[in-house]
Structure 1
């Protein structure tokens, strides 16, 4: 059983492969990998960091066991919470909660206006977690950036 607090560390290009591996696992398990996913995961520096985004990793006993990213929204102030993943062997130990706690604290510290995310109701545990932390469902636009998305959620940081 895992009862340790993870250490959250920022992106380092040396961790690009872990970012890819953690995310490709759940995408392959539940969905078809979209071209956009493959591009972003293969080149996180180009698609996330260089565009003003952020990537964080959860570290436990010198092992990367989780990750998430913020991508700046194109047409409005705020960031998309994206590519959140926990390694399969560490699921069910509240690692996702620790990542999400860090996510919201970092967003507030940086004075982000809002967070939004696209997900799938197929990922019941993730949706439950987002709701628990205060994300609220909003209208999903017809031209969602992800084919798999059937839910869009938002967290208002101005409250």
Structure 2
């Protein structure tokens, strides 16, 4: 198991990864919730909905298979949302979520952000533990964009 971890590479998104990006996220969305009309454009055209709006997508690659994803979506020049974070079933013990989070936070620091915001759900206990470990703190949730968002967390950098 230790050996496998070292073979995970965090790479920038390319258009050829679109199906893998969508499948990873649809898997957890359908397992716990449902894919909504709000979600679909992000996965049908991630370049237009995320990258062309000054966002970033990073993927975890293991032996040329895409096994995880995370996105940073721009709110303002100083604040982004951490989103679209998922790891394929069967790969969740390899600390891929941590590797993705490390990359996302490294990018946030490069961008000199004041804060990263994320919206999640109380059912996603593993994700909540990861976010807390990385310094995200609970804040009051108002007017979430999707019904499944029951929790707002923020990590401040300054």
* Matching residue of 1:156: 156
Q: How much has 1:73 moved relative to structure 2?
A: 1.0
Distance 1:114 1:26 in 2: 26
C-alpha distance in structure 2 between counterparts of 1:77 and 1:138, whole Å: 18
Deviation at 1:5, TM superposition (A): 4.8
Q: Secondary structure at the match of 1:112?
A: coil
Residue 16 in 1 paired to residue 14 in 2? no
**Structure 1: which 5+ runs fail to align?**
none
1:90 partner SS: coil
Runs of 4+ residues over 6 Å off in structure 1: none
Distance in 2 separating the partners of 1:102 and 1:3: 15
Partner Cα separation in structure 1 for residue 128 and residue 144 of structure 2: 17
- Residues 48-127 of structure 1 aligned to structure 2 (within 5 Å): 48-73=50-75, 77-127=78-128
TM-score (norm 1): 0.93
Distance (Å, rounded) in 1 between the aligned partners of 2:28 and 2:89: 9
| Conserved 8 A contact 2:78-2:112 | no
Q: Distance in 1 between matches of 2:149 and 2:65?
A: 30
Query: In 1, Cα distance between the equivalents of 2:114 and 2:16?
Result: 30
Partner of 2:27: helix, strand, or coil? helix
Q: 1:73 to 1:51 in 2, by over 3 A?
A: same
What stretches of structure 2 of length at least 5 have no aligned partner? none
